[in-house]
Structure 1
Amino acid sequence: MSTSSPPRPGAPRPSLGSRIAALTGGTATRLVLVLIALVWLLPTAGLLGSSFRDSADIADSGWWSVLGDPGQLTFGNYEALLYNETITDSLFVTLMITIPSTVLVIVVASLAGYAFACLEFRGRDWWFLLVVGLLVVPVQVALLPVSKLFDLVGLFETTPGVVLFHTAFGLPFAIFLLRNFFAEIPRELLEAARLDGAGELRLFFRVVMPLGGPAIASLGIFQFLWVWNDMLVSLIFADAGSPPITVALQQQVRQFGNSIDVLAPGAFVSMIIPLAVFFLFQRQFVSGVMAGAIK
């Protein structure tokens, strides 16, 4: 027996144009998204192509000429990059700044977000409003007073000073994000864990942290990308003798303006690392964004 219901009498049939639009709508959307993705990736492709060409070929023609002449490709630029101590040391310094800044922000913001969302203490809402108010403070306002303070305590032009600055200015947004996420955890679940004898630390590590994994992963990606790509803070607070990659590339441009065969692979390496981090944790990032949208 057929289970399909007969068409309702008097219901208008869709026109031929509407049926064609319904069939091609999804395809057209995909084509537009693919075109947008290709345009967005075009600078990356250009930088990648330039990183495998020598300086003479770069000066003579654009990067797209490599598509018709693959013989231009060479690994000599990356070999020269490996022997460029300024670039290699700067990558290590950048990791020494980015990883602690990201870890510290996640740890402190997770504890503070849990306290603001799940604990009762005097002045909690006012303290949280203060944290939210710090979101509007621009980094440029604090550069001069913080530099004087760091100079007094011996943190100026040091890697710990840069880490401390990035951690301090990353915390307001991180606390705001995690507090709002933790606040959506059902209170019944927390009360049930407390009735079973779980203390606050055990409740935080065994219940709240696993549930907040997507939001924490999203926060880690944001913080990592912001610190890795930063140049202003590093230019002021980092040691001039051991700068991070953004400052090191800027110094290479100023000192060796024609060393594009070193700058191109260096810039590509500095860009591919945060991209790799993003694609590595993209599933957690999307889960965190979708969870926040649903809530």
Structure 2
Amino acid sequence: MSARLVRLVGRGFLHALLVVVALVWLVPTFGLFLTSLRTVKDNNSGGWWTVFAKPAQLTLDNYANLVKNDTILDGFVNTVLIAVPSTLLVVTIAALAAYAFAWLEFPGRDWLFLGVVGMLVVPVQIGLIPLAELFGKIGIMGSVVGVVLFHVAFGLPFAIFLLRNFFAAIPASLLEAARIDGGRDWTIFFRVILPLGLPAIASLGIFQFLWVWNDLLIALIFADRDSQPLTVALQQQTRSFGSSVDVISAGSFLSLIVPLAVFFGFQRYFVQGVLAGSVK
């Protein structure tokens, strides 16, 4: 009885501690949301917590004005045009390459995979100047295509490494049974590998999408005014923070909605991918 009571008390304390940590972690996001619902005058006169004493401060005018802001809207559209192709290309190419490295025999396979692993340690900053010069010569510097290609190039090494290790853990008997039934490599890939590897692929897709969606460094260098994403558009507004706090707060909260929707939409696959291989 005493041992059971100790376990209950300890578990309750742990749960209470986790709730407190979660609430503290969510305070900045909650503060950003309340700030986006207040006017510039109210934000300059006091902190967002004053809304609890004066609920009349809350208004949707900031979001109504945001819809009319061409810079923010164009940045949001450009972010979608950059994040979606970058994610789909990385996931598609990495899945095909990972299957080849895991289950196909060809000369130099291990050395090629070692080269892919070696590219994981290459910092992004090293490729900025050479790729900027290359993109300028072929005429895609400052375009959405250039930003997408950069994200794809630097996202593939980790993606291939992650999926290859997951695909290699699939029982070989399943692939042998598929080959006995007359299945070729493409059939095995689509009918066996993809369904079994869906958790890892979904996890990779979430990570890649979040990395590209929140990117600022690559967008500042490789995107011009017509192709700049939302992060750059918001960063430019910080030059006049006091007068643009309504645009920054509402735009920043808008930029949070899509990644959260993607994460919660694929949360089930994400959890499966994280736990994959932890038990047998």
2:201 corresponds, among 212, 216, 225, to 216
CA distance, structure 2, for counterparts of residue 202 and residue 255 of structure 1? 57
CA distance in 2, matches of 1:67, 1:278: 30
How far residue 257 of structure 1 moved from its aligned partner, in angstroms, is 4.8
* 1:198 corresponds to 2:197: no
- The corresponding residue for 1:113 is 98
Give the secondary-structure state (helix, strand or coil) at the position aligned to 1:259.
helix
Distance in 2, matches of 1:272 and 1:29, equals 30
The residue that corresponds to 1:153 in the other structure is: 138
Out of 19, 31, 34, the position equivalent to 2:16 is 31
**Using the alignment, how far apart are the partners of 2:124 and 2:67 within structure 1?**
34
For structure 1, list consecutive stretches of 5 or more residues without a partner in the other structure.
1-13
Letter in 2 for 1:50: T
User: What TM-score does the superposition give when structure 2 sets the normalisation length?
Assistant: 0.97
Which of 120, 125, 142 is matched with 1:140 structurally? 125
> How far did residue 251 of structure 1 move?
1.1
Q: 2:88 aligns with which of 64, 78, 103?
A: 103
Matched, 1:68 2:90: no
Structure 1 CA distance, aligned partners of 2:234 and 2:58? Answer: 22
Q: Deviations over 1:106-143 (max 9, x none)?
A: 00000000000111111111111100000000000110
CA distance in 2, matches of 1:255, 1:238: 22
Does residue 58 of structure 1 match 2:43?
A: yes
Point out the structure with max Rg over C-alpha: 1
Percent identical across equivalent pairs? 59
Q: Which one has the bigger helix percentage?
A: 2
Any unmatched runs of 5+ in structure 2? none
Q: What amino acid sits opposite 1:258 in the alignment?
A: S
Is contact 2:44–2:242 with CA below 8 Å preserved after alignment? Answer: no
**Which of 73, 78, 85 pairs up with 2:70?**
85
Structure 1 Cα separation of the partners of residues 24 and 240 of structure 2 = 32
Within 1, Cα distance between the matches of 2:279 and 2:131?
Answer: 39
- Point out the more displaced range, 61-70 or 36-45: 61-70
Cα RMSD over matched residues? 1.2
The amino acid of 2:183's aligned partner reads A
3-state SS of the aligned residue for 1:293? Answer: coil
Q: Which amino acid aligns with 1:23?
A: L
Q: Which segment is superposed worse, 122-131 or 60-69?
A: 60-69
Equivalent of 2:149, from 148, 164, 180? Answer: 164
Aligned pair 1:129/2:138, yes or no?
Answer: no
Count of residue correspondences: 280
Q: Is the 8 A contact 2:142 2:227 kept in 1?
A: no
Give 3-state SS (helix, strand or coil) of 1:275's partner.
helix
Q: d(CA) in 1 for partners of 2:245 and 2:11?
A: 43
Structure 1, residues 245-295: CA drift from partner, whole Å, max 9, x if none?
000001122256511111110010011211111111111100000014336
3-state secondary structure, aligned to 1:127:
helix
Q: Is 1:291 matched with 2:279?
A: no
